[in-house]
Structure 1
Amino acid sequence: MVFYDTTSRLTWCVFVSILVLFPTVVLHSSANSNEDQQSQDDEAATSPYGICAHLTWGDDYDDAEFQLQQMKSAGIGWARVDFPWKHMETQKGEWTYDRSDNVLELSGSLDVNILPILIAEPAWASPAYQHLDDWRSYVQNVVGRYKNKLRYWEIWNEQNGPHTWYGEPNAAQYARLLEAAYEEIKKIDKDLVVVIGGHSGIPTEYIEALYAAGAGSFFDVMNVHPYQIDPESYQFREQLDELKNLMGQHGDDGKPIWITEYGISTQNSVPKVSELLSGVVSGGLAAIDSQREDWSPLLLDDPNYLGGFGYKAEAIAMNMFKPMSPEKIKLEDLKALEPSKNGLIVLPPTETFPINYFDDIERYVQRGGVLMFWDGVPLYYDATKYSRDNPLNSIVSTSYRERLHVGWEAYWTKDGVPTSSTSNSPGRSWTADIDFPEKTPKASRFLNSGAIKDNDEFLPIIYSSNDSYQGVSAAVYKFDSELKGGLIVLSFIGVTWGETEERQAQRLPRKYLSTLQAGISLMFWYEFLAHEWDPFHNEDHFGIVGREHNHKPAFTAMATLTQARPPGSSVVEEFWRSDSGDLYHPQWKRPDGNLAWAIWKPEGEQTYSIRVKGDIHDTFDYLGNQIPISMNNGEATLVFSESIVYIIGPEEIEFTKTIGVNPPENLRITGN
């Protein structure tokens, strides 16, 4: 219940009745739910902490014992593991269970629950939905073998995606596969639980099509992978509510919802990307004007330019120009800039641009300025119309690139251009400048000289190739026409994607806590082991443990979370963030009876004065480091930021934001 004070102090108080209720009971219960299903959900909710691990595959199988031991030490209760059909029945009728047997023996000894995925048919039974007799045999054999060890069974993975189905996702095809698996599993034991394959995103249209195909009768647990939606956001809650409403319309409002994949990759480490790009930039600037030394680079960091740089891109740019410290400018500053003083402007790494500011961008180059584009095809999408859900609506005409004399080609514009290159090499003049890491970015867009004019020059810096094609993925456009400056362009996509390891660790507990507040009883982080084979490939860097078995900070953050909010904890109050959205404060009751809070700001930091009722037993950060609090007449001062502060013990906390706020903002959270 929320009360608002109408005095000059902006005051809002939250009073919470403490009931020992699991979040699944509170947020998933309905008149249509049955006791068996509720008990299944409660069993899963005893540990809400899962993680994905390919323990039956390749190098991960060799590491299975280490991974499971480390999961146990971090307080992780579940591992989601592939049980690939093609590995278990390599020849029709010939079954191999060595790997799954060994993994289950190890997990059982360490008390880590396994969620198996039934997936990946052999070539002779592909596509699986057209070989249902063989599929049924696979389900019968595998589930029958492990029915006394494994209670939950997930059927396929991201079946609504083209790369994980058979080209075009088809709900009716998957519904047939799901129905066959459900029937075979329930024949073996009606109390076994069927988890629908994790959907990519929260695709309500696809799920509606599943219901239309009759799939609602053939699963016990709904399942989503909301990578594209931040679980802390209001958008996540809105989409989750839309899914719940859809389920309710089909009588499924009693079924729990799990998230069996969510994660944050740390590919493109700042040092590796900066080292590669610094050679491109230094060589490119020398090619444009070999006599000039002071370029005074500027970062065009404007929220109207698709959000500006962002944390990772800014870190790379700052590292790239060391020892210089580039200043930031806004779009409105372009007109007044003098190229002779501020020669190089680094634009945000994106294929979008603010079309209403293009004339200013063009004039800067006409007057001798230099621009750096460094992600894909420059000037491809109109930032004022761009939407990640439908980017095609914002593609602009080629005229904007032609006005800056940029030519390019890609697999969708010209036959013979590859979808991805396999190797990179420096242009002849830049052999000494470019220092390639062992693994290098892959290109799918390529630059050319097709739009240059008069005495312009097109100078390749990096060639990207495969067996039958060689194109240019980084180049200098040196102008001597109506344009008098130059461009440095890199067409690699996504070299700034991913997060730093520190930010991955900051966000991991925030995502778990946010989903628990939303009524999700079980979430699996993707994934445990980061293979780190390719520094630029996102799939190699989701893990919380490195290839050399080193703990990334996210591992420590996970262990800290499971200690602060042990399995068996219960949500105290669904209301958990300020109206302004600038302070998050989920609360829970621990099995030991203590109340606990996790407090953070989604962005930036702010100093608060706090007053508590009751004793503070412990205060620590997201990595478990103790935070000393000096109380003075029941008050103390704390800085809240993007990193969680855990507070264990008090019955009530009152926060007053006083630094830089007039009038001060006050929030009181109580546990009784």
Structure 2
Amino acid sequence: MKPHTLLFFLLAFVPLTTRAGLPPVEEQDINAGRHTYTAGWDSLIPESAGERARAAGTFFGDAEHVSGFSVGNDTANGIRTVNVRPGVKTAVLEYKFDFGRTSSRVMRMSVRDILRLEPEPGNWAAITVYWQADDKGSWTALRSLNSTRFVAPPARTSEVILPAPAAVIRYRVEFASEKPVTHKWGRARWNYLKKDAAADSAFRIDFTLAKAGTGAANTPAEVQTAPPDGESPWGISSHPLRNTEWDHLDTLVERVGEAGMTWLREDFSFPRILTRGGERDFSRFDVLVDRLGRAGVGTVGILSAYDSDLRKKGHGDIVPIHEHPEAWRIYVRAMVGRYHDRVRHWVIWNEQDGGFWFPKPDAAQYTKILKIAHDEIRRIDPDAKIITGGLEYWNTGYLRDMYLAGAAGNYDVIGVHRYGPGPDASPLVRRTLREFRALMAEHNESHIPVWLLESGGSTFQSPLLAQQPRFLEKSIRDALARIGRAPAPGAPLTAGLALSPRITPAQHDEIDTTRRWLPGVTLRLVPFGQLSTLSADDCPVLVIENGLHIDAPLLPRLQDWVKRGGLLVLIGHPPMYVLHTQDANGIWKRRDAVGETYPLFRMAFAAHWNRKGIPAQTENVYVPDAALAAGVPPVSGIYVNRFFSADRLQPGDTFIPLLGIRNSRGEPVPDVAAIALHTYHDWKGAVLASAVSLGGGLTEEEQATLIPRMYLSYLGTPESGVERIFTYDLHDDGQKRGEREHNFGLVRWDWSPKPAFHAYAEMTKELGAAPKFVKRLSSPDTSVWALVFRRAGDNRLVLAAWTTEADGRFEVTGAGITVTVSGDVVRYRELPEDADPAALQIRF
């Protein structure tokens, strides 16, 4: 299907720029409120060579603007191709439909197009159709194909209802590829047309018209609820696009409204709009944005393109996305261009400093896509808010790396994920928050606000502890006996908590020295400098401070500890999975590194994706007879999905399952366990490891106490810079009570509200949609929190007060009131209309 040589020669000298285009539509052209235009065989190029030569100045006939495209003409086979010219990365074809000379305006469009894409091998390309009304605003994406392979979906008709009657419509086809086209015949084809097949027209637009000034009667617009106040802090992170929630979208929106939430954050990810056929499907996004808009809830969209999700959709050819910047650019342009008038807040990625960036976090790579997203969003919607992806737990190290990579100036807000208590109850939060804001100030960003894009806590519970609260204690006693360190019967356990070198003595008060899985045992803090000389006789058991994570300097000290005869207890899901190391600048970085940490202790991690015969999850567990005989208590029905195996043991080492699993036939899976003891032929000590979620989460009542206190203590700490907070999650993601990820919701799996939902609703009702912080009442007791807010709706002052001590008690007096506050649950009180906040005092 190569173009004729003469044609190619002629086209090489045709300047593809702005053209005369279609003449304006005249009144007599309009019949019964409709106007139709079809672009097909004849609208692209005349058929004979002579006509081609004479028509060189009107190439692509009716188009107003053409650049980068040429036409291939195979008259023998009746096929005409639209090709991209050599050396081109972006090509454009644009039509203008001008109804300005008529008394009619466009109300609707029915656009039928047939898109085919044939990129050069290995050169990712996209073809996108856009429209624009009255030369205002950005272009709205209508349809798109993207692939490194030939894709030819069937023709499709798209219906467009214009937000307002329009006199001018522009229709634009844009091609883009990652690398310039190299094939001299323009191998990167956009479309091809068959001479005798009318259905294969490039596109056809049916315009529905109405007389100017009568559009509202002909196309009634839905009544929209007023958009949320831009200063409202009440957000929720949810997953309405997942099937489990999509099927209950009305219930979800109803719950959001009942709780007084004004913002909903959801993934607008690249893979979600992609189909395996190379097309894009925005249908669910369209419905969601419309539904939230009608409910008066603002949408906050996350722009992302995770490797695993792209591969699942058959688009591994653009993995990782930071190495395919044009693919990322076109995605951002299409998504923001489609929703810019309804979605004004865009989050760029999610937890890029953690497990959502592969193979390991890299701020320079992230900054590359952040800058592209910034440029595209600003071009489409200059006033949109751009938010960085949420950083985990006030991650100053990664933020510092972002600054070094040049990220500053490419966002309006910094996103953070911080679960658990707020600054009212956590010294760790107060310190890391101060360090984070100090780093921002160093880089002249004190004015930049922070949004907590995820917060809250899971209400998952450990079935193991519910059945046998002392299971781990008895397992530890058994393990000590096996290495010759059996404690005396009834004697209390002595255990230490191994601290990383980055934990200073001043930070020791931030550490909780109790563990739910060791009831009655207080852990002794063991600073890093003491580990090398710590005697196992003095402290026979060591626990690491943060089970899932491990700082690299600890590893050789802990290995030496086991060699010298100590029992190392590793608790996590699974333990030591994430390794933290320091770079040359002293910045702590993290990566998934179980392949590095486990071999040091001759351990092996097992899961369904790396070992055949292991279930993805199971509750079919058992305690082996040998463990039962040693005093480990029986349990059943324990949810587990991470395991250990005996694959790395040396001859003479032992792998002793304390909580084993059975396969689907009820048979024990050999040499695999969810809790296991490792002993060694040449080391004096042992390692007891558990991949079971032992600690459990919050009770539903504790979650209800946490949520409002967390919100209000951040909002009541102006130096935090926290402007908006999103609780994660609205709805429980599953029904397993022992699975942490299933139980973050404010409503249960059956959509019934938890106490935290009611606490959230009470908070928003008392404080209104956009409260303004006025002051915190001073008190010598730091456990006392008494905050005054001004409710925007009626301008009334509202007191919100609590203590961080469950048995705490105080009074707020003055301004004609006396309010007694007891306990750690927030109490609200509307103040008299003429109340002076300065008159309020705290009394004990």
Give TM-score scaled by structure 1 length.
0.67
Match of 1:412 in 2: 599
Are 1:599 and 2:801 matched, yes or no? yes
C-alpha change, 1:138 and 1:505, in structure 2 (3 Å) is: same
In the alignment, the residues of structure 2 paired with residue 527 and residue 91 of structure 1 have an alpha-carbon distance, to the nearest angstrom, of 30
Instruction: Determine the C-alpha separation between the residues in 2 that align with 1:354 and 1:556.
Output: 51
Deviation at residue 492 of structure 1 after TM alignment: 3.5
Match of 1:379 among 525, 536, 542: 542
Query: Residue 537 of structure 2 corresponds to which residue in structure 1?
Result: 359
Report SS of the residue matched to 1:510.
Answer: helix
Instruction: Return the structure number with greater strand share.
Output: 2
1:309 counterpart residue number: 514
CA contact (8 A) 2:602 2:648 kept: no
Match of 2:841 among 651, 654, 672: 654
Q: 2 CA distance for matches of 1:313 and 1:285?
A: 14
Deviation at 1:398, TM superposition (A): 4.8
Q: Matched residue of 2:621: which SS?
A: strand
Aligned to 1:266: 459
2:391–2:416 CA contact under 8 A, matched in 1: yes
Selected match of 2:701 from 467, 477, 502: 502
Higher RCO structure (Cα 8 Å, ≥6 apart)? 1
User: What is aligned with 1:167?
Assistant: 359
Superposed, 1:87-166 pairs within 5 Å as 87-91=272-276, 93-121=278-306, 122=310, 123-161=316-354, 163-166=355-358
- Asked whether 1:195 is paired with 2:382, we answer no
Over residues 423-468 of structure 1, what are the superposed CA-to-partner deviations in whole Å (9 max), with x where a residue is unaligned? Answer: 5532453599634226336334889999999xxx997542248998
> For residues 280 and 307 of structure 1, what CA distance do their matches in structure 2 show?
18
Confirm or deny that 1:54 pairs with 2:236.
no
Q: Which residue of 2 aligns with 1:623?
A: none
2:480 and 2:559 map into 1 onto residues whose CA distance is 28
Task: Return the letter of the residue paired with 1:97.
Answer: F
Which stretch of the first structure deviates more once superposed, 278-287 or 496-505? 278-287
Alignment of 1:33-52 (within 5 A): 45-52=230-237
Name the structure with the higher helix share: 1
1:199 deviation in Å? 1.7
1:552 aligns with 754
Partner amino acid, structure 1, of 2:542: L
Choose the corresponding residue for 1:470, options 671, 674, 683.
671
Change (3 A) 1:561 1:101: same
- 1:208 to partner: Cα distance: 3.0
Show CA shifts across 1:443-502 (max 9, x none): 34889999999xxx9975422489986234557999xxxx9xxx9967345411422221
- Change in Cα spacing, 1:461 to 1:217, as seen in structure 2 (3 Å) is closer
Residues 565-594 of structure 1, C-alpha deviations (whole Å, 9 max, x = no match)? 212221112x45644422111221223233
SS at match of 2:803: coil
Unaligned stretches of 5+ in structure 1? 1-41, 290-294, 318-327, 333-346, 363-377, 616-634, 658-672
**2:739 counterpart of 1:537:** yes
- Contact kept, 8 Å, 1:504 with 1:554, in 2: the verdict is yes
- Which stretch of structure 1 is more off in the superposition, 556-565 or 61-70? 61-70
Cα 1:583–1:302 change in 2 (3 A) is farther
In the alignment, the residues of structure 1 paired with residue 280 and residue 454 of structure 2 have an alpha-carbon distance, to the nearest angstrom, of: 29
- Aligned residues of 2:783 and 2:803 also touching (Cα < 8 A): yes
Structure number with larger C-alpha Rg: 2
What is the CA-CA distance between 1:359 and the residue it aligns to? 3.1
Would you say the 8 A contact 2:258–2:761 is kept in 1? yes
Q: Distance in 1 between matches of 2:513 and 2:739?
A: 23
**Partners of 1:391 and 1:436 in 2: CA distance:** 36
Q: What do residues 489-528 of structure 1 show as CA deviations (whole Å, max 9, x unaligned)?
A: 6734541142222111101001111221234221111111
Matched to 2:241, the amino acid is T
Contact 2:660 2:673 (C-alpha < 8 Å) held by counterparts: yes
Structure 2 distance, partners of 1:191, 1:595, is 32
Counterpart of 2:727 (choices 519, 525, 544) is: 525
Residue 216 (str. 1) matches residue 413 (str. 2): no
Q: CA deviation at 1:541?
A: 1.5
State the alpha-carbon separation in 1 of the partners of residues 830 and 550 from structure 2: 41
Pair 1:567–1:357, CA change in 2 (3 A): farther
Q: 1:448 to 1:597 in 2, by over 3 A?
A: farther
Structure 1 Cα separation of the partners of residues 436 and 606 of structure 2:
35
Q: Distance in 2 between matches of 1:404 and 1:239?
A: 33
Partner secondary structure for residue 558 of structure 1: helix
The secondary structure found in structure 2 opposite 1:463 is strand
8 A contact 2:603–2:649 mirrored in 1: no
Matched, 1:440 2:640: yes
Report the secondary structure of 2:349's partner residue. Answer: strand
Letter in 2 for 1:396: L
% identity of equivalent residues: 25
Amino acid at match of 1:275: Q
Q: CA deviation at 1:49?
A: 0.6
Equivalent pairs counted in the alignment come to 533
2: distance between equivalents of 1:200 and 1:437? 32
Gaps of 5+ in 2: 1-226, 311-315, 482-488, 498-507, 576-596, 608-613
1:505–1:555 contact (8 Å) kept in structure 2? yes
Assess if the C-alpha contact under 8 Å between 1:201 and 1:229 holds in 2: no
1:418 is displaced (CA, Å) by 2.3
> Is 1:516 aligned to residue 678 of structure 2?
no
Change (3 A) 1:656 1:401: farther
